[in-house]
Amino acid sequence: MAIERTFSIIKPDATARNVTGAINAMIEKSGLRIVAQKRIRMTREQAEIFYAVHRERPFFRELVEFMISGPVVVQVLEGDNAIAVYRDLMGATDPAKAADGTIRKVLAKSIGENSVHGSDAADTANKEIAQFFAGNEIIG
Ligand code: CMP
């Protein structure tokens, strides 16, 4: 297995409920290492760029409004097979369909307010990490 990095966002519904530590505990229990982390207020422009792939979807406007509605925690996670491991740990996009023990099953509220984001592939992980972190902010 290869050591990989993936990009994570703890979303506004989770920061509002003060569960960033609970999510980080689940991440660390899975074996992933948090090698960069900062709490930010995403700008509209950052959110529109980040979710540009969803621009034509009916939920795009709602998604952008939600992501700028409160603080988020952006993170870089590192570990064996990190992209797939984190996607498994997050669970299905819709918390109602997420497996027991996953972050979204335990903590998320709805398909929109689903507590966390994780990259879906290596190329998107690199792109997403580069949008929010300089190389010298990631300490492995
Ligand atoms: P995320 O992994 O951040 O990537 C795209 C996001 O779009 C997804 O999580 C959901 O939060 C959001 N999303 C997907 N489908 C819907 C939907 N039907 N309504 C609102 N938001 C959605």
Stated as kind and residue range, the H or E segment containing 82 is helix 82-90
Distance from the alpha carbon of residue 81 to the mean position of ligand 1, in angstroms: 23
Residues with CB under 6 A from ligand 1: 54, 59, 62-63, 93, 111-112, 114, 117
Query: How far apart, in Å, are the Cα atoms of 16 and each of 30, 50, 70, 71, 72?
Result: 24, 21, 7, 8, 9
- Whole-prediction pTM value? 0.97
> What residues act catalytically?
117
Residues 6-62: tens digit of each pLDDT: 999 999 999 999 999 999 999 999 999 999 999 999 999 999 999 999 999 999 999
Residues 62-75: tens digit of each pLDDT: 999 999 999 999 99
Residue 9 CA: nearest ligand 1 atom is 3
Residues 65-123: tens digit of each pLDDT: 999 999 999 999 999 999 999 999 999 999 999 999 999 999 999 999 999 999 999 99
Beta bridge pairs of residue 24: none
Distance from the alpha carbon of residue 126 to the mean position of ligand 1, in angstroms: 20
* CA separation for the pair 34, 27 (Å, rounded): 8
